[in-house]
Each structure stands twice: as structure tokens, then as C-alpha cells.
Amino acid sequence: MFPNIIISLISKFAPNLGLALGGPASYAVESLISSTLGVDMKSQDDLINKIKDDPTIIDKLVALDKDFNDVKNAREYGSREIGLYRLVRPIMAFMAMCAIFVDILFIEYIKDTTVKQVLVVMLVFLVWDIRQIYRFYFGQSDKDNLSDIFSKK
């Protein structure tokens, strides 16, 4: 366990890391802080001197705290998807893909041209929807935004 002065000093700038230093993950957080700041966490004098001498240390601590909080929040969100709820997105994606294949099958075998035109329009909407579902399910990068592609000269 760490001395209270180190925990209170870290907590002043990075409350999430300070809280984690007092908990069961203290050695992992110690290693993370030590490698990011380049200090020996066993020596409170080294940490205090480093904070006094280097003003960027506080910025690094704040950024590390934000990243640590983001990971903690993502883990909490992921743990909420339990039971049958975790199957909703894959089932949605599968049903949308099945709807596309059924629509293509209907377009192939229906003879009425008006109905075929409606089915083609419906196919366009289904393709757009499945594209959105898969973006949601697998994640979307900034490079996938079509408005950015067309707006660049």
C-alpha cells in the first residue's frame, strides 16, 4: 500500500488514479503512473520533486486520469451487456442481411414491374440500413464519413 501523502498528491490532479492507488489494482496503477511520468512511485520525494521541477507532469497526470476513466467507463458499459441483451445487435444485423436476400429473391421472381420497382427502392433502403447497423455493431472510423469524402477538394 502507498503512503497517504502520495495518494493525496495524485488524487489532487488525477482523482480516478488516486482512488485506484488505494484499491486492489494499486500495483498496476503504480506501474502505469511510474512509466508515464518517469518517477519512482516508492519514493514520495522523487514524485514531489518531479511535479515541482516539470510543469508538464501535471498535464500528463490529467491526461492519464482521463484515459484511465475512459477505460473504466468502457469496462462498466461492457459489463452491462449480459444475458440475452448481448445478442440484440448480432440478431439485428443477421435479420437485416436476411431481409436483403429475401428482397433480391422477390425482385428476381416477381413479374409485375411496379412491384419490382418498389422492391428495388426497398432494397436501396435495406442496404443503407444494414450499412448503418454494421457501422454501429463493428464501430465506425472517421474515414468512413461520406460527407467528408465529397467535401474535400
Q: Same domain, yes or no, for 29 and 48? A: yes
- The grid coordinates of residue 35 equal 512509466
Boundary of a domain, candidates 61, 80, 99? 80
26, 42 Cβ separation under 8 angstroms: no
Boundary (domain end) residue, out of 44, 60, 80: 80
pLDDT tens column, 74-98: 666 666 666 676 777 778 888 888 9
Are residues 100 and 128 located together in one domain of the fold?
A: yes
Full residue range of the structural domain in which residue 22 is found: 4-80
Query: Are residues 125 and 110 both part of a single domain?
Result: yes
Which cell numbers in the block locate residue 109?
421472381
**DSSP alpha helix (H) spans, the chain:** 4-13, 15-21, 26-37, 44-53, 56-80, 88-109, 113-138, 146-151
Task: Look at the chain and report how many structural domains it folds into.
Answer: 2
Do 88 and 102 lie in one domain? The reply is yes
For the chain, 153 residues long, the average pLDDT of each consecutive 10-residue run is: 70 80 76 80 77 81 82 69 71 87 93 93 89 74 53 50
| C-alpha to C-alpha distance for 83 and 61, rounded to whole angstroms | 37
Nearest to 101 by CA among 119, 88, 75: 119
pTM across the whole model: 0.46
Quick one: DSSP state of residue 23?
S
Contact 93, 135 (CB under 8 A): no
Residues 31 and 76 in one domain: yes
